[in-house]
Structure 1
Amino acid sequence: MRSTLSGHPRFVPPAIPVASPRRVLLIFFLSGAAGLIYEIVWARQLVLVYGNTTQAISTILSAFFGGIAMGSLLGGRLADRVRSPLRLYGLLEIALVPIVLITPRLFRLIQQIYGTAYEALQAFPGAITAIRFLLAILALAPATVLMGATLPVLTRYLARKRKDVETTFGRLYAANTFGAIVGTALSGFVLIELFGLHGTLTAGAMCSGAAGLFALGLDRSSAPPRCAAAVEWEERDAPHPTPWKRLGLLAAFLSGFTSLGYQVLWTRLLSSGTGNTTYVFTAILFIFLLGIAAGAAAVSSRPPRPNETVHALSAAQTAVAAINLIGLALVSGRIVWLAFVQTTLLVVFPVTLALGLTLPLAASLVASSDNRVGRDSGSLLAVNTAGAIFGTILVPFALVPLIGSPRTVVLLSFVNSLFGVALLGPGWRALPILRRLGRVVTVVIAGACGFALVRPPSFVADPGETYVRQKGALYASVEDEIASVQAGRIGPLKRLWVAGTGMTHLTVDARLMAILPMMIRPDARSMLNLCFGMGSTFHSAIVAGLSVETVELVPSVPRMFGYFFGSARSFLSHPRARLIIADGRNYLDLARHRYDLITVDPPPPIRSSGTAILYSREFYRSALSHLVQRGLMMEWMPYDQTIDEFRAHVRTFSSVFPRVTIALGRGKCGSGRCGVFLFGSREPIDFRPAAVHAILARPGVIEDLDNAADSSPLTEQQWGQLVPRLVCASGSAVAKFGGEGPLITDDRPLPEYFLLRSRFGAASLPMTDTSVRASLCLDRERPSDERRASSTP
């Protein structure tokens, strides 16, 4: 590489020996672990403020990445001006610790501000979105700006020459990402379950503090003796031409955009049908980061020659496109059926390995001169982060609802392949046969992506849709910004699937979720129904004469209502009905009016990611505060858990509601029952015969119950005799069953984080109809013929 001597003297501060690069990489490894811990914990905490909608999550991620980008720019410029970038880095990490530890208080403050603004500006969605973003920036910026400054500062410290930027940036990027992998695994599999969100955040702050102290210690041990400054002739490498720098920044932007896009898309496709547990998402993120880190490490360990960087970038883009097409075929199951982990490894790791090559390669194109190393690396990271923000917004909001996740993967692959073709310009110096072969391969892959986009082959299909088609009859399939939704039939039962997971069927239990609370409170007039699902509870409540507000998170779910109930359109437009597309927990927290009844049927399985906020003590407190004095809450509790886990739910529910009654479900799931009803109120809970018959006598109620797929026709008298026998336990029996132990809270989401308890905790019976009867209901619930049989000598 050519060097030139400037014709002017330059002030040169005393040289500072570089500490062992391995020690610096270890420090940045700790920083990466802390960064992912912060991101995971903050995302969960801010979801409680803004809700679990895609709009809210995109706001959170945009604010997070926006702070990172701002910090990258500022940190890069500052790094080129300070005498000791390592000391600056140490101070950044130490300053981060108190800021991180006060973020929960900041979140509570913005929750109060947001609640006030939401009440005043409900009619102006644009204003609500702007306030949400502004508050998220104010809460996250103090920490994320400091976090974003760390990479360019350390790059400036280790890379004293422009020619070292590619290797140094790649090593630091890889070390930080390997740390992020450890942070992902520790928080997702261990820390949150053991210590909760606040404890996990504290662990991350300890990592940041340790990194800062180690950096200051290294800086002090490597500091040279004091000496006078010198004036020397500046020797520097010839600056990169501006077109190469622009190309590097474009590559960084596309890398950020497509990386975030692929993370969203492959998480959707690979998690389909898995039950969407937290551990599924943690595993996908773990493998995603592993590929990114491995790619960055590969570049830093064996960097290409200067004239080969653009060629390597082209090969990486082409590889991303090709691997994505193969991955879609694997996920579709049309080639071979593979287990979740196998598919994730075979699809995500190769794609992210190729993606991980891009940013370090772009770093060598962006570096312009020796005295701008910090600024150039900061600009690179800022542009890459800007691409990530763009992907966070464009992919889920525009592309996925328009063409679906599989075709969006093809579209992004097409973008990668076109960029790969564009990089194969006339400046490519290689043997003619290799040059021709490379161009042919790249163009063929780009053409394949374009063809698959215009005329999608059979493997470019949603996995959930494919599953329903193979197993039964598909009525409809649609994908929105939240999830993929299907309505169909398998065997005799109509079903609803969301994100590949079966929600329910037309069971009588879903109809009883509306009717049983009315039998307890026959004077009830209003109901809040959280989680619309197939619409059975909403339908039965309207039939029985209630005014109903029903809330659903996934916009496409209510669109399937008509496939299960022929009167769907008239019911949704009924004057006593109001459908709200929102996060149910967030809607309840922000509501300013009270209800006679609140019913909640969280989406299955009970261990799925995000559902714990509908089982927490804070949620129940919010529900109680939104009930009238004699108001009643009903929470459905499915059998898909252990008895000890059910005890934690009962214990948490009973810690909030003064009066609690548990009733058995009547619907059928396979060879057994489906779950139980939890009823909570301030006032006594009784099924008085007169009230039961008064509700049954309302027009259409018995007919609605009898029309359920798993219900046999019963008369009013038979239903009147059956309902009181469903009661399993109440009062002191419920308190005794719940016993002593931890509660489910927003900080300790026990239903979602269960791995260590299930592996190393005491064994517990699965929750079934038999085990519930044996441990809770005792002899009360058994039918009279069973009691007579047991008493016969």
Structure 2
Amino acid sequence: MTVSTQRHGAALLWIFIASGFAGLIYQSIWTQYLGLFLGHSAYAQSLVLLLFMGGMAMGAWFVSRRSDRMQRPLLWYAVIELVIGVLGLTFNQLYGASTSFAYDVLFPGAGSQASVGAIRWAISVLLVLPQCILLGATFPLMSAGFLRLRPDSDGKVIAGLYFTNSIGAAAGALAATYLLLPRVGLPGTIFTAGLLNVLVAMAVYPLSKKEATVATAPSAPTDASGVAPSLILVAAAVTGLTSFVYEITWVRMLSLALGTTVHAFELMLAAFIAGIAFGGLWLARNADRIRSPLKMVGWVQVWMGVAALGSMFVYANAFEWVGWLMRVLTRSSEGYSLYNVSSGIISLLVMFPAAFFAGMTLPLLTIILLRSGAGERAIGRVYAANTLGAILGVLLAVHVLLPVVGLKSALWIAAAGDLLLGIVLLRRAARNGTASQPAIAAAVTAFALVASMALVQFNPLMLASSVYRTGNTSLHDDTNMLFYRDGKTASVAVYATGNDKTGKTLSISTNGKVDAGLTASLAEAPRADESTMVLAAALPLALKDKVDQVGVIGFGSGLTTHTLLGSKRVGQVDTIDIEPMMVEGARLFGERVERAYKDPRSHLLFDDAKSYFSSARKKYDVIISEPSNPWMGGTATLFSTEFYNFIPRHLKDDGLLVQWLQLYEINPTLVSSVLTAMLPEFNDVQAYMANQGDLIIVASPKGKVPPLKDLFSRDPQLRAEVTRVGFGSLRDLHDAYVLDRQGLAAFASMFPTQANSDYYPVLQLNAPMSRFKNDSVMELSHVLKAPWPLSSSMSDVPRRALESPLPATRRELANDRKFHAARELREALVTGNPVRGEFASRDDAMMLEALRGLAQTCKLDEAPAQSAEIILSLAIETVPFMDASANEDMWVKPAWLGDCKPSHPLVVDALALLAATSIDDHLGAIEAGDRLLSGPDAEFILGNGNASYYVWGAMQFAAYRLHDPQLSHTLDAKFGNKIAPEVSGQIPIRLVRSLASGERSLPAEQAPVAGGR
């Protein structure tokens, strides 16, 4: 072999690494694109695998029939890489145009859900299959061209190419998610892959001129095994089938331990491919020394089956490892990076051994045919048979094994297939004098199958533990697992915790993540989740007199649908969920959700929401979007610009979107990315807090969101549901109101970020880290607790009156405790009784006693700084949480002063400010605040945190209520630089100043993607 040939061979290996790198970028990004169209990442993963493997089988088979007659296979390889590249460069535009045509034209005219499904899958196939066929042609063409350069090293060539292509693929899977997607989005990532293919074509073309101009004739047989080619092709198909059953099963298994995030999936994929790559590498270094490839491949199949069964034992410990990681890693960005590295290592421990042997099977089977004299066409034939088996493996795993027999049995059955295939191949090789080896393999097989089935248990309490969130490796031992099924898209569990004394809670989880928790009995106090699900249904029914058609996205426990059907004013409820097992499992909630199943107005549908709405040929009065958490794979698309652009087309002119958004395990910037996506698409938006961790947004695309009305009296069943969670009256609903459209825009502008988009998935990429860090968005709760009545001023609702009863069952809203505490403090100050201390803090009680003592001894003027500080501090806890009449004898005409009339300007101005803010005298508040901040005691006010916080915020709030942005700017110019940063940086101050000044424009929206929706 010449030095020139060596150089050309090395160049081709590097080029094939780049080709594999681009190929797995395609697989990863196609999964993202088709997930948008098919509605769930699990369906997209399965379809892309099918098309990827099926297309490659077709391409390889086509080449196998013509390879011997090709004069220059490397030239053809370059041409195909160029075509793949051009298709990659234009994929985003093709996707946008075809899916837009489907949503706007094909789906509305389809006539049935079956037709819509057929159209959806057909378009997905047409978008991806052509490139997959071309990709399938690349390996046999490259192999044929390389073999003509090095015809004396068939084993090294085939295994070496298999290694280089696979290791490039593993790198591509990681680069797509961790490097490219965050920076250039889906369009830029797939454009990069296309550009890389073009560069590969340009690099191969000069090398193709060096290849032989005639095909290499089939060589004389060099292996005396005399094995039938049909057996080798069957073996290739079987090993392809089992390998992909392993992959599908391992991904689902590891998702339960590591989480169903985009990062976790790509790490698993990379681990699987890395195992295959290094199996090919080992073979490349040893292939030419193997005397009997048939015996070798027989043992490889046996050890692959044993390794797959062994992965069960490793996996059983994965929950302990993840639990340990969650306990020891700091919840930070660095900690998340370490978690991802550790997740990759765990994935390798589970997948690598079996994948390593899988990486040897295809090259070995190809070598057997090459040495039997089959010629170059053997490469394509084996490759095609292997990929056809892979297609069957994906279909069998997704549609039969996982739903019918579950994770453990699916893996066991696939391993049994590999073990039996190994015995068959060894028996065939035994004709040449190795008769004892099949018996040894049979003994190993029997032991491995029996041991794995007997010794490994996949405890549902472990699988449903959500260890990747909580660090707990199992649910409590007293948990009663009522339902556990592996569906096509997720593993669903329903279980009961607690007992008759403490109260039982029923929970339903998806891949370990609890999606809903309810008390088993209505006699028990409601759980936090219940207020979210009930309020999502109750709000639109308090806004609209009649609701003929309601669409609900996401079934969850079924409580939202059940609550809606408690109203006679509802005509029909269409509840759409993509996973049938979710609906099946939720039946165990029994009477708590029975209307969702038994009421004739309830229609339960299993489909992608966007596809269903496009084909439904009707418009809705209300659409409620209540999916799972946005860090879970595929869910973030229900919080995107494209989704919010799509929904208004399926609402009536006065229709409403009700959107749930979590405020736990997420940060303010990610919430801002959702608001930045939503607000431009809706004319009016209002936000409510169901509890401190859940936001309910009501949006109208064309008109105004109607005012809340007390409509529950007509619907006793509905009233019972909402009263139980603390929203039984109109006043209770008003308490949950937090911000209007302007307020939400101001909040978004405080945390500027790119809008979450299907094509630029800010939420999908960043929410997993936020979940790991256990972030939370407390800023909106701070708005409810703000010392100026921000929320009530936006809804034009009077502040809560003293005679208005507070709900006894609700303790979830941030302002609930404030209402109670304000009443306690007022009662104590006005009546002279001690503070009860049930809700008011000890510090507030002590301040109140001190203020009363100063008033009773007429010493307010003797300690003006202390008096003003106490007055302004107590104002923070009282003024916004009572109406003007309640504030009358506390701050407007303070009864507690008695005959004492303070005269010190600091005390007088502090009381004047409180009197003005209590009765919404905004000009009076500006004047009193100005005197406090510019008078002789200004230094004290500015240097006191509570005092400056209240005074500065009250002035900006007054400017906001006067609708005078210029006044806000004037105040800012006069006092802004004097306010301490720790005061001006507080969320309520920033928000009220943004509202007052008009500086609440949303961040610049992402430039539209060519062809995108």
Q: What range is the shorter-chain TM-score in? A: 0.7 to 0.9
Query: Which residue identity lines up with residue 21 of structure 1 in the other structure?
Result: G
- CA separation in 2, counterparts of 1:512 and 1:358? 57
Counterpart selection for 1:413 from 412, 415, 418: 415
SS in structure 2 at match of 1:184: helix
Deviation at 1:320, TM superposition (A): 2.1
Alignment of 1:720-731 (within 5 A): 720-731=730-741
Q: Is the 8 A contact 2:311 2:350 kept in 1?
A: yes
Q: Which blocks of at least 5 consecutive residues in structure 2 are unaligned?
A: 326-342, 466-473, 499-503, 519-529, 792-814, 823-874, 880-890, 892-910, 912-1013
- Single out whichever of 210-219 and 614-623 deviates more from structure 2: 210-219
1:704 aligns with 2:692: no
Q: Is the 8 A contact 1:327 1:347 kept in 2?
A: yes
Deviation at 1:733, TM superposition (A): 1.8
Match of 2:877 in 1: 789
Alignment of 1:20-419 (within 5 A): 20-52=8-40, 58-111=46-99, 114-115=102-103, 116-123=105-112, 125=114, 131-160=119-148, 164-220=153-209, 222=210, 236-238=219-221, 243-303=227-287, 305-333=289-317, 337=321, 340-367=343-370, 373-419=375-421
Deviation at 1:596, TM superposition (A): 0.6
- CA separation in 2, counterparts of 1:42 and 1:319? 33
- CA separation in 1, counterparts of 2:617 and 2:267? 39
Query: Which residue identity lines up with residue 654 of structure 1 in the other structure?
Result: L
Match of 1:748 in 2: 760
Q: Computing the radius of gyration over CA atoms, which structure comes out larger, 1 or 2? A: 2
Q: Is the 8 A contact 2:623 2:656 kept in 1?
A: yes
Match of 2:972 in 1: none
CA RMSD of aligned residues (A): 3.2
CA 1:356 to 1:770, structure 2 compared with 1: closer, same or farther past 3 Å? same
CA 1:335 to 1:647, structure 2 compared with 1: closer, same or farther past 3 Å? closer
Deviation at 1:341, TM superposition (A): 4.4
CA 1:677 to 1:61, structure 2 compared with 1: closer, same or farther past 3 Å? same
Which whole-Å deviations, capped at 9, do the CAs of 1:144-182 have from their partners, x for residues lacking one?
Answer: 222111111111111137763332111111111111111
Alignment of 1:592-671 (within 5 A): 592-604=617-629, 606-639=630-663, 640-666=665-691
CA 1:776 to 1:733, structure 2 compared with 1: closer, same or farther past 3 Å? farther
Match of 1:769 in 2: 778
Query: Which residue identity lines up with residue 237 of structure 1 in the other structure?
Result: A
- CA separation in 1, counterparts of 2:739 and 2:318? 50
1:497 aligns with 2:509: yes
- CA separation in 1, counterparts of 2:216 and 2:310? 55
Which whole-Å deviations, capped at 9, do the CAs of 1:11-40 have from their partners, x for residues lacking one?
Answer: xxxxx9675211101001111011111112
Deviation at 1:600, TM superposition (A): 0.9
SS in structure 1 at match of 2:233: helix
Deviation at 1:705, TM superposition (A): 2.8
Which whole-Å deviations, capped at 9, do the CAs of 1:680-716 have from their partners, x for residues lacking one?
Answer: 102222443xx2x212541112322345xxx46x7x4
Match of 2:488 in 1: 481
- CA separation in 2, counterparts of 1:465 and 1:397? 22
SS in structure 2 at match of 1:111: helix
CA 1:140 to 1:400, structure 2 compared with 1: closer, same or farther past 3 Å? same
SS in structure 2 at match of 1:700: helix
More strand by share: 1
Deviation at 1:577, TM superposition (A): 0.6
SS in structure 2 at match of 1:428: helix
Query: Which residue identity lines up with residue 162 of structure 2 in the other structure?
Result: Y
Q: Is the 8 A contact 2:480 2:496 kept in 1?
A: yes
Alignment of 1:523-542 (within 5 A): 523-542=546-565
- CA separation in 1, counterparts of 2:769 and 2:600? 48
Q: Is the 8 A contact 2:271 2:344 kept in 1?
A: no
Match of 1:694 in 2: 711
CA 1:777 to 1:648, structure 2 compared with 1: closer, same or farther past 3 Å? farther
Alignment of 1:447-486 (within 5 A): 447-448=446-447, 450-451=449-450, 457=455, 459-462=457-460, 463-465=462-464, 467-468=474-475, 470=477, 472-486=479-493
Q: Is the 8 A contact 1:53 1:583 kept in 2?
A: no
Q: How many residues align?
A: 745
CA 1:401 to 1:768, structure 2 compared with 1: closer, same or farther past 3 Å? same
- CA separation in 1, counterparts of 2:216 and 2:659? 77
- TM-score in terms of structure 2 length: 0.69
Deviation at 1:586, TM superposition (A): 3.0
Which whole-Å deviations, capped at 9, do the CAs of 1:102-136 have from their partners, x for residues lacking one?
Answer: 223333444356555555555473x6665555444
Q: Is the 8 A contact 2:218 2:376 kept in 1?
A: no
- CA separation in 2, counterparts of 1:32 and 1:158? 16
CA 1:141 to 1:406, structure 2 compared with 1: closer, same or farther past 3 Å? same
Percent sequence identity is 22
CA 1:378 to 1:361, structure 2 compared with 1: closer, same or farther past 3 Å? same
Match of 1:519 in 2: 542
Query: Which residue identity lines up with residue 730 of structure 1 in the other structure?
Result: D
- CA separation in 2, counterparts of 1:109 and 1:406? 42
Which whole-Å deviations, capped at 9, do the CAs of 1:611-651 have from their partners, x for residues lacking one?
Answer: 12101111111111111111111111111211111111111
SS in structure 2 at match of 1:475: strand
SS in structure 2 at match of 1:20: helix
Deviation at 1:573, TM superposition (A): 3.3
- Single out whichever of 317-326 and 745-754 deviates more from structure 2: 317-326
Query: Which residue identity lines up with residue 173 of structure 2 in the other structure?
Result: T
Deviation at 1:757, TM superposition (A): 9.2
Q: Is the 8 A contact 1:410 1:452 kept in 2?
A: no
- TM-score in terms of structure 1 length: 0.87
